[in-house]
Amino acid sequence: MTVKECFNVKGFASSNNYVSRAFHMAEHDSYLVAILREAGAVIIAKTNTPQTMMCADTNNNLFGLTKNPVVSHLTAGGSSGGEGSVVGFRGCAMGIGTGVGGSIRIPAAAQGVYGFKPSSGLLPMLGSEPSTWAGTNTGVPAVCGPLANSLRDMQLLVKTVRAAAPWTLDPTTLPYIYEAVPSTQTPRRPVVGVIRQSGLTLHPPVRRAIQEAVSRLQAAGFEMREFVPPDFATIKKITAELFTLDGLSYARQELARTGEPVLDSIVKLGLWPRKAKTPEEMWSWNAKKAAYQKQMHAAWAAAGIDIALCPAWPHSAVKPGDWSNTMYTVCWNGVDYPAVIIPFTHVDPAIDKPDKAFVPLDSFDAQVDTEIQALYKYLATDNTGDDKITRVGTDHTVDPEVLKGAPVALQLIGQK
């Protein structure tokens, strides 16, 4: 199996892909790596991450760009893009990524594999290399989780790690939050809440995936209910401020050590320009996050649902370096709910026709649509993949031929 670069593997470089740390050798295994090795796992590689690890793409000045093995001219996602790529290529049995805003689920969705972001406390992070100041608590906990080609494989990994009682050594790992307790209640199927969209308009392939999933679940006898959560745009704004409490001073320090330039993909996500917060501002943003968590909890209860079905993102993968929004994934980090990516379908130009009736929800929705337009035009004029693409369109979700075969994934979310 493979592990993300931020996990220490004794005797191998552990740089977090900063040039300044290129020859920093790990003197010990991360606790999770040690548990897996003790259980018989063979670690065959550490996998690529983006510069700073605060990016939904995977590119850096040490190892370069990670490519998508399914559609090579589209992004592999990030920040666990190396894991997503090697698992998607079936170069390993399974892998471990980390996430604080979608870094497990975005690469899983981009490559059409399974990915699980647990709530905090399920799997140990002890002994991994931080991508920011050690001990930093932004209010949005980083977690680790598996990427694999089946739910069964992910379940095997989680059960194996939990069986080692990691809470006996890692005080941030909690006991008895995964281990099943026999229930005295009559088993029933969960009630599924359906999130059609929030904050950004879904593109035709994603709308089709949601509707097909609803139809299949209804046919299988599940009760489906419409679920309108608190606006994802709100928690996106809150988490962006929490991720940059220090103004990304750690990343700036590491880049400055060698004069390493910041990559465009880091800037495009919108976190790099944000300023450090005062203590009073930190408390205020965390209070806003707590209020959003309460709103989500209340909305969930009012809807009477057990789990939610949600898009992984409003569109399929984009051009490398152009990922600019994470609101469909970061919302679940913000409330610390577990979420799993289910690969569901692929973009099919014969079915997924351009949306000529598109009306943006707001200025950000219009901005994202403009970026997608640019993607189509870029891919239509440059030979970025194996075949030169020559078609250009003019409407929302232009020319599905550009995205032909791109994976389309959905999320299933539970409460903490």
Give the mean model confidence (pLDDT) for residues 352-365: 83
Query: Is 183 inside any structural domain?
Result: no
Condensed to tens digits (0 to 9), the pLDDT of residues 153-193 reads 999 999 999 999 999 999 999 999 998 777 777 888 999 99
Query: Is 184 inside any structural domain?
Result: no
Query: Is 52 inside any structural domain?
Result: yes
Q: What is the pTM of this model?
A: 0.94
Mean per-residue pLDDT of the chain? 91
The yes-or-no answer on residue 319 being catalytic is: no
Condensed to tens digits (0 to 9), the pLDDT of residues 133-148 reads 887 778 999 999 999 9
Q: What is the pLDDT of residue 388?
A: 40
Query: Is 79 inside any structural domain?
Result: yes
Q: Is the pLDDT of residue 240 over 70?
A: yes
Catalytic: which of 14, 80, 103, 120?
Answer: 103
Q: How far apart are CA 8 and CA 16, in angstroms?
A: 10
Q: What is the pLDDT of residue 321?
A: 86
Give the mean model confidence (pLDDT) for residues 299-322: 94
CATH code of 60's domain: 3.90.1300.10
Give the mean model confidence (pLDDT) for residues 90-109: 97
The yes-or-no answer on residue 79 being catalytic is: yes
Q: What is the pLDDT of residue 255?
A: 97
Q: What is the pLDDT of residue 380?
A: 55
Query: Is 195 inside any structural domain?
Result: yes
Give the mean model confidence (pLDDT) for residues 355-380: 75
Catalytic: which of 14, 15, 79, 131?
Answer: 79
Query: Is 292 inside any structural domain?
Result: yes
Domain that holds residue 236: 2-178+189-413
Our count of domains for the chain comes to 1
The yes-or-no answer on residue 131 being catalytic is: no
Q: How far apart are CA 332 and CA 381, in angstroms?
A: 37
Q: Minimal CA–CA distance to 332: which of 415, 221, 403? A: 415
Query: Is 399 inside any structural domain?
Result: yes
At 87, list the tokens: 């698992």
Query: Is 227 inside any structural domain?
Result: yes
